[in-house]
Amino acid sequence: MIFFFFADFISLFLSNIGALKKKKNLKCYDFPGTRGRPAKTKVTRCDQNRRMAHWFHRNPLKATAPVSFNYYGVAGSPAANKICNDLRTTRARLLDMFTDSTCNPEMMKNATDAYFSLLQGFIAALDGTTQENKMRFIQNFKWTDTLHGNTPSAQQDAIFELASMAFNVALWYTKFASRLAGKENVTEAEAKDVHKSLKVAAGIFKNLKEVHVPRLITPAEKGKDLEPRVMDAYIIQSQAEAQEVTIARAIELKHNASLIAALAFETANFYQKADHTLNTLDPEYSSKWRKYLQLKQQFYMAYAYCYHGQTLLASDKCGEAIRSLQEAEKCYSRAEALCKEYRHTSGPGSTAKPSEQLFFLKLGALIKNTLEKCQRENGFIYFHKVPAEAPQLELKASYGLAEPVGFEMPPLSEQCTPEVYATFDLTKGAKNDKGKPKEEEVKPVKEPDLKPQKDTGCVLS
Ligand SMILES: *[C@@H]1O[C@H](CO)[C@@H](O)[C@H](O)[C@H]1NC(C)=O
Ligand SMILES: *[C@@H]1O[C@H](CO)[C@@H](O)[C@H](O)[C@H]1NC(C)=O
Ligand SMILES: *[C@@H]1O[C@H](CO)[C@@H](O)[C@H](O)[C@H]1NC(C)=O
């Protein structure tokens, strides 16, 4: 369990506060390190109940109505019919993958590529002209939005389908990461997958926002998934969460305290930015998500001030160290208060329980103990005045920042040749009386992860 690295390290730290002064001159701060040792497996019963299963807030997956891709006379050749059939089956298979708890990134990628390589046959210009693909607007697609319950948005546009489906793929990656981080003992390779999956998700959201969504004829309405503010929030949140893994890793490898402070500060800034991008949306559907982003911001500010305080102490600036740790205490209290508010705010998504995690609780203890130590030392040795102002955190983390993994659409399926494209005849379908496919309903997605969890009632020793 990656976050146990954290807890382990902190316990170790508490017993040997001087350990940080033993500087290790390591260059590799990005995750995964090359010196990894396997996750500690000795966890108490209590710890097992408190693994990081509820560390990340997750909004629900998007739901969609089934699509038959049945255009009767329009598909005027066996090859054209096959494309339509394959679109239907590959789409259905991809939708199944979203709720299949055995699905891994390789399966997800295969299922996504299978569908998107065909769907692009309805988007790309296949007849060598610059005109729109004639099939682009043939089908109405319905998708719910993550913040708007079961009310679907609908557009008769294959690009809307492409963007909505890819959006769900990105959401799936964030959920996969969250599930993996919540496992009992996360291996080195799995921790790497958590980090990678979050960066892949960020890359998909980013690609959609920059490349595909701008091509929509009808821009998304306020607060809908394909709207820039919402997309930005997802991009930044995914990056920030990937960085959380990097921080856990940096601590586990006992990296330089000033580097950990810098990474924590950058991560807090990411959360703040994500929160701010949502501040013009209706609180009714955005405030729960925003509380999560705010509590994470305060939590990582507390981390940043705590580790910055250690750096200050190590360079004999005891008064400033005390002030930094006092600031850490304030941020930590704010994070605690926000955790409560978050839990009591209704809104879409799973309710994370960060304040119950060892990872969260141990930081409180670390701040308290470090502050007490600084105050003792100041009373005996330094006699520094504690400044009124909190120290400035102008720490630019120059490495370890999580960049989105670039996302590219798969190549167009070999089935979609200009010759086959020519056999689609839009004039045919309309003449057929029974040619109007019936409108399908959107059923909510049954997500295995989204059951509300009961408290474990576990008491920490
Ligand atoms: C994914 O596709 C590749 C290439 O077609 C194949 O070799 C691999 O077995 C597939 N993996 C899964 C998990 O389906
Ligand atoms: C955790 O690791 C231990 C020791 O390697 C192993 O016996 C146990 O099955 C693992 N638990 C899970 C859930 O994988
Ligand atoms: C810790 O990192 C900071 C910033 O990168 C650097 O200035 C400092 O020299 C490092 N300290 C040690 C002991 O490596």
What integer pLDDT is reported at residue 52 of this predicted model? 64
Angle between helices 283-314 and 257-277 (to 10 degrees): 160
Integer Cα distance of 393 and 320 in angstroms? 12
Q: Which ligand lies nearest to the CA atom of residue 260 in the structure?
A: 3
- Higher local confidence (pLDDT), 431 or 22: 431
Rounded average pLDDT over 2-10: 39
In a domain, 164, yes or no: yes
Answer yes or no: pTM beyond 0.75.
Answer: yes
- In degrees and rounded to multiples of 5, residue 144 shows phi and psi of -80, 165
**CA 406 to ligand 1 center in whole angstroms:** 21
Among 21-35, 41-55, 116-130, 202-216, the minimum mean pLDDT is found in: 21-35
In a domain, 457, yes or no: no
What integer pLDDT is reported at residue 182 of this predicted model? 84
In a domain, 459, yes or no: no
Rounded average pLDDT over 284-302: 96
In a domain, 378, yes or no: yes
CATH code, domain carrying 31: 1.25.40.280
Nearest Cα neighbor of 195 from 245, 267, 266 is: 245
Among 14-23, 24-33, 120-129, 281-290, the minimum mean pLDDT is found in: 24-33
pLDDT value at 13 more than 80: no
What integer pLDDT is reported at residue 74 of this predicted model? 93
**CA 13 to ligand 1 center in whole angstroms:** 45
Contact (Cβ atoms closer than 8 angstroms) between residue 294 and residue 271: yes
CA 78 to mean position of chain CA atoms: 42
Q: Which ligand lies nearest to the CA atom of residue 180 in the structure?
A: 2
Integer Cα distance of 312 and 452 in angstroms? 43
Tokens matching residue 214: 């701008």
Number of domains present in the structure of the chain: 1
Whether 110 is in the pocket of ligand 1, judged by its Cβ within 6 Å, is: yes
Rounded to whole angstroms, the maximal C-alpha distance in the chain is 93
What integer pLDDT is reported at residue 404 of this predicted model? 95
Residue with tokens 């940080």: 20
3 pLDDT tier (thresholds 50, 70, 90): very low
Contact (Cβ atoms closer than 8 angstroms) between residue 289 and residue 296: no
Ligand 3 pocket (Cβ < 6 Å) reads: 23, 25, 256, 258-259
Q: Which ligand lies nearest to the CA atom of residue 4 in the structure?
A: 2
Residue with tokens 């100041």: 378
Nearest Cα neighbor of 105 from 207, 33, 192 is: 192
Domain of residue 315, residue span: 2-450
Q: Which ligand lies nearest to the CA atom of residue 117 in the structure?
A: 1
- DSSP-derived 3-state class of residue 163: helix
Model confidence pLDDT, tens digit, residues 347-404? 888 778 888 877 788 899 999 999 999 999 998 888 999 999 999 997 776 667 889 9
In a domain, 113, yes or no: yes
**CA 208 to ligand 1 center in whole angstroms:** 25
Whether 127 is in the pocket of ligand 2, judged by its Cβ within 6 Å, is: no
Percentage of the chain lying above the pLDDT 70 cut = 83
Among 131-145, 153-167, 442-456, the minimum mean pLDDT is found in: 442-456
Percentage of the chain lying above the pLDDT 90 cut = 66
pLDDT value at 1 more than 60: no
**CB burial of residue 324 (10 Å; 0-12, 13-18, 19+):** buried
- DSSP-derived 3-state class of residue 459: coil
Q: Which of 147-151, 254-258, 272-276 has the highest mean pLDDT?
A: 272-276
Atom of ligand 1 nearest to the CA of 106: 13
Residue type, 146: T
**CA 185 to ligand 2 center in whole angstroms:** 6
Whether 34 is in the pocket of ligand 2, judged by its Cβ within 6 Å, is: no
Whether 107 is in the pocket of ligand 1, judged by its Cβ within 6 Å, is: yes
Model confidence pLDDT, tens digit, residues 307-338? 999 999 999 999 999 999 999 999 999 999 99
- In degrees and rounded to multiples of 5, residue 282 shows phi and psi of -60, 125
441 pLDDT tier (thresholds 50, 70, 90): confident
Integer Cα distance of 195 and 205 in angstroms? 16
Contact (Cβ atoms closer than 8 angstroms) between residue 204 and residue 130: no
Name the residue of 44, 183, 184, 188 to mutate for ligand 2: max ligand atoms within 8 A of Cβ: 184
Model confidence pLDDT, tens digit, residues 405-432? 999 999 999 999 999 999 999 988 655 5
pLDDT value at 44 more than 50: no
Contact (Cβ atoms closer than 8 angstroms) between residue 166 and residue 205: no
Integer Cα distance of 352 and 6 in angstroms? 19
Among 12-26, 199-213, 330-344, the minimum mean pLDDT is found in: 12-26
In a domain, 456, yes or no: no
Integer Cα distance of 117 and 139 in angstroms? 17
In a domain, 189, yes or no: yes
Q: Mean pLDDT for the chain? A: 84
In a domain, 428, yes or no: yes
What integer pLDDT is reported at residue 51 of this predicted model? 52
